Amino acid sequence: MQKVMLTSETDTQTFAKVLADMNLTGSVWLAGDLGAGKTTLTRYWLRAMGHTGAVKSPTFSLVEPYRIHQADGTIKPVYHADLYRLNDPEELEFIGFQDYFTEDSLVIIEWASRAAGYLPSPDWLIDIQRVTGSEARQVTLSRADG
Give the pTM: 0.94
In tens, the pLDDT along 56-101 reads 888 888 999 999 998 888 999 999 999 999 988 888 998 999 999 9
pLDDT > 70? residue 53: yes
Question: If pLDDT is split at 50, 70 and 90, which confidence band does 21 have?
Answer: very high
Separation of alpha carbons 8 and 111, rounded Å: 23
Fold annotation for 2-143: Rossmann fold (3.40.50)
Domain locations along the chain = 2-143
Is 86:101 a contact under the CB 8 Å cutoff?
Answer: no
pLDDT digits (tens, 9 = 90+) for 28-51: 999 999 888 999 999 999 999 999
Give the pairing of strands 63-69 and 75-82: antiparallel
